[in-house]
Amino acid sequence: MRGLGLALVLVAAFTIVLGIGGLPPRLDPEGPVHTHVGARYAERGLEETGLRNLVAAVLLVYRGFDTFLEVVVIFTALVAVLALPSGVIGGTSWREPDAETSEPDAETSESGDRRAAAVVDRPDTGVPVSNVVGFVVRLLAPFIAVFAAALLYRGHVTPGGGFQAAAIFGALFIALGLVLGRAKADRLVPRGVRPYLQAMGPLAFALVGLLGWRLTGAFLGYPSEASAYVLREAMVVAVEVGIAVGGAVILARLFQALEGR
Amino acid sequence: MSDPWSLLVPGLVVLPLAAATLVPIVAGRDPRRAGSFTFGVVLLVTAMAAALVWRVGEVGAISVPLGGWAAPYGIEFRFDRFSAWTLGLSALFAFIVPFAWRYLEGTLPRSRWHVFYALLLLNLGGLLGFSVTGDLFNLFVAMEVVSLSSYAMVAVAGRGVAAWAALKYLLMGSVSSLLVLFGVGLLFALTGSLNLIDVAARVAEAPASPATTLALASLMVAFMLKAALFPLHAWLPDAHAIAPSPVSAVLSGLVVKVGIVGLVRVLQLSAGSGTDLALVNQVMLVLGTAAIVMGAFMAVFQDDIKLMLAFSTLSNIGYIVLGLGLAAPFAVIGSVVHVLNHALIKVTLFLAAGSIIHQTGFRTLRDLRGVARVMPQTSAAMAIGALSIVGIPPTAGFICKWYIALGAFESGQGVYGFALVFGALFIFVYYVRMLNAFFFRPAVRAEVQAAREPAWSMRAPLFVLAALCLLLGIFGSIPLAFVEPAVVELLASMGR
Amino acid sequence: MELFGFDLDYVAFMILFCIGLHMLVVKSNLLKKLLGLNVMETAVFAFIITSGMVDSGDPPILVAGTNPPFANPIPQAMVLTGIVVAVSVTAVALALIVQIHAHYGTIEVSELKERP
Amino acid sequence: MSAAFDVVLLVFLIATAITVARSQDLIAAVVKFGVYSLVMCLVWQHRGAPDVAITEAAVGAGVTSVLFLLAIARTERAEKR
Q: What is the pLDDT of residues B405-415, one digit of tens each?
A: 888 888 888 88
In this predicted model, what pLDDT tens digit does every residue of D30-76 receive, in sequence order?
999 999 999 999 988 888 888 889 888 888 888 899 899 989 988 88
Residues of chain C with pLDDT under 70: 1-5, 56-57, 116
User: Mind giving me the DSSP string for chain A?
Assistant: -HHHHHHHHHHHHHHHHHHHTTSPPTB-TTSHHHHTHHHHHHHHHHHHH--SBHHHIIIIIITHHHHHHHHHHHHHHHHHHHHSPTTTSS---SSSPP-----PPPSS--HHHHHHHHHPPPP---PPPPHHHHHHHHHHHHHHHHHHHHHHHGGGTSS--HHHHHHHHHHHHHHHHHHH-HHHHHHHS-GGGHHHHHTHHHHHHHHHHHHHHHHHSSTT----SGGGHHHHHHHHHHHHHHHHHHHHHHHHHHHHHHHT-
Query: Would the CB atoms of C37 and B189 count as touching at under 8 Å?
Result: no
Query: Would the CB atoms of C89 and B189 count as touching at under 8 Å?
Result: no
User: Mind giving me the DSSP string for C36-90?
Assistant: HHHHHHHHHHHHHHHHT-BTTPBPSB-STT--SSBPPHHHHHHHHHHHHHHHHHH
Q: Is the pLDDT of residue A102 over 60?
A: no
Domain count, chain D: 1
C35: closest CA of chain A, how far (Å) = 16
Chains that touch D (3 or more CB pairs under 8 A): A, C
Residues near B91 by beta carbon (within 8 Å), at least 6 away in sequence:
B46, B49
pLDDT band at B445 (very low <50, low <70, confident <90, very high): confident
* Chain D residues close to C97, C-beta within 8 Å: 71, 75
- What percentage of chain C exceeds 70 in pLDDT? 91
Q: Which of B222, B423, B224 is nearest to B321 (CA)?
A: B224
Q: Give the up-direction half-sphere exposure of residue A26: CA atoms within 13 A in the CB hemisphere.
A: 21
Q: Is the pLDDT of residue B17 over 50?
A: yes
Least confident range from B17-26, B27-36, B354-363, D25-34: namely B27-36
Q: Which of A240, A91, A211, A90 is nearest to A152 (CA)?
A: A240
Nearest CA in chain A to B22: A199
B39 three-state secondary structure:
helix
Q: What is the CA radius of gyration of chain B?
A: 22
Query: Would the CB atoms of D67 and C91 count as touching at under 8 Å?
Result: yes
Q: Is the pLDDT of residue A99 over 60?
A: no
B391 three-state secondary structure:
coil
In chain C, where the domains are located: 2-112
Q: Is C25 on the interface with A (CB under 8 A)?
A: yes
User: Which residue range(s) make up the domain with D62?
Assistant: 2-74
B327: closest CA of chain C, how far (Å) = 33
Query: Would the CB atoms of B25 and A196 count as touching at under 8 Å?
Result: yes
Q: Which of A52, A59, A258 would best serve as a mutation to test chain D binding (most D beta carbons within 10 A)?
A: A258
Name beta bridge partners: B133.
B77
B186: closest CA of chain A, how far (Å) = 8
Q: Does any domain span residue D81?
A: no
- What percentage of chain B exceeds 90 in pLDDT? 41
The chain D residues in contact with chain A (CB within 8 A) are: 50-55, 58-59, 62-63, 66-67, 70-71, 73-74
Chains that touch B (3 or more CB pairs under 8 A): A, C
Residue D31 is which amino acid? V
- Asked if residues B362 and B322 have their Cβ atoms less than 8 Å apart, the reply is no
> Taking residues B331-342, what's their average pLDDT?
90
Query: Would the CB atoms of B215 and A19 count as touching at under 8 Å?
Result: yes
Q: Which of D75, D79, D80 would best serve as a mutation to test chain C binding (most C beta carbons within 10 A)?
A: D75
What pLDDT is recorded for position B109? 83
Between chain A and chain B, how many beta carbons pairs sit less than 8 Å apart?
A: 254
Pick from B170, B188, B194: CB nearest C92: B170
* Chain B residues close to A103, C-beta within 8 Å: 109
Query: Would the CB atoms of A35 and B242 count as touching at under 8 Å?
Result: no
Q: What is the CA radius of gyration of chain C?
A: 19
In this predicted model, what pLDDT tens digit does every residue of A39-66 receive, in sequence order?
888 888 788 877 888 888 888 889 989 9
* Chain C residues close to B194, C-beta within 8 Å: 74
In this predicted model, what pLDDT tens digit does every residue of A65-81 receive, in sequence order?
999 999 999 999 999 99
Candidates 1.10.287.3510, 3.30.70.20, 1.20.1250.20, 1.10.10.10; correct CATH number of C2-112?
Answer: 1.10.287.3510
Start-to-end CA distance of chain C, whole Å, equals 53
* Chain A residues close to C60, C-beta within 8 Å: 41-42, 53-55
Alpha-carbon distance D58 to D38, whole Å? 10
What pLDDT is recorded for position A97? 37
> Taking residues B290-310, what's their average pLDDT?
89
Pick from D51, D62, D66: CB nearest A159: D51
Mean pLDDT value across chain C? 86
Q: Is C103 on the interface with A (CB under 8 A)?
A: yes
Alpha-carbon distance A191 to B6, whole Å? 38
Q: Give the up-direction half-sphere exposure of residue B284: CA atoms within 13 A in the CB hemisphere.
A: 28
Pick from A56, A168, A258: CB nearest D71: A258
Between chain B and chain C, how many beta carbons pairs sit less than 8 Å apart?
A: 83
* Chain A residues close to C14, C-beta within 8 Å: 13, 16-17, 20
Q: What is the DSSP letter of B249?
A: H
Nearest CA in chain D to A168: D58
Pick from D59, D66, D71: CB nearest A163: D59
* Chain C residues close to A257, C-beta within 8 Å: 95
Residues near B58 by beta carbon (within 8 Å), at least 6 away in sequence:
none
Q: What is the DSSP letter of B207?
A: P
Alpha helices, H only, B441-493: 446-450, 456-474, 477-493
CB atoms within 10 A of CB D69: 16
What pLDDT is recorded for position A147? 82
Mean pLDDT value across chain B? 88
Q: Is the pLDDT of residue A181 over 80?
A: no
* Chain C residues close to D43, C-beta within 8 Å: 46
What pLDDT is recorded for position A75? 94
Q: Does any domain span residue D79?
A: no
Alpha-carbon distance B227 to B205, whole Å? 30
Alpha-carbon distance A176 to A172, whole Å? 6
Q: Is C16 on the interface with B (CB under 8 A)?
A: no
What pLDDT is recorded for position A129? 61
B485 three-state secondary structure:
helix
In this predicted model, what pLDDT tens digit does every residue of B57-83 receive, in sequence order?
888 888 888 888 887 888 999 888 888
In this predicted model, what pLDDT tens digit does every residue of A226-254 receive, in sequence order?
777 888 888 888 888 899 889 988 988 88
Query: Would the CB atoms of C17 and A12 count as touching at under 8 Å?
Result: yes
Pick from D49, D64, D67: CB nearest C76: D49
Query: Would the CB atoms of B167 and C96 count as touching at under 8 Å?
Result: yes
pLDDT band at B48 (very low <50, low <70, confident <90, very high): very high
Give just the sign of the alpha carbon dihedral B476, B477, B478, B483.
positive
Q: Is the pLDDT of residue A112 over 50?
A: no
Nearest CA in chain C to A24: C51
Q: Which of B34, A254, B307 is nearest to C92 (CA)?
A: A254
Pick from C25, C60, C77: CB nearest A42: C60
- Asked if residues B187 and A32 have their Cβ atoms less than 8 Å apart, the reply is no
Helices and strands per DSSP (H, E), number in chain B: 21, 2
Q: Is C58 on the interface with A (CB under 8 A)?
A: no
pLDDT band at B2 (very low <50, low <70, confident <90, very high): low
Q: What is the DSSP letter of B63?
A: E
A137: closest CA of chain C, how far (Å) = 25
Query: Would the CB atoms of C102 and A42 count as touching at under 8 Å?
Result: no
Q: Is C111 on the interface with A (CB under 8 A)?
A: no
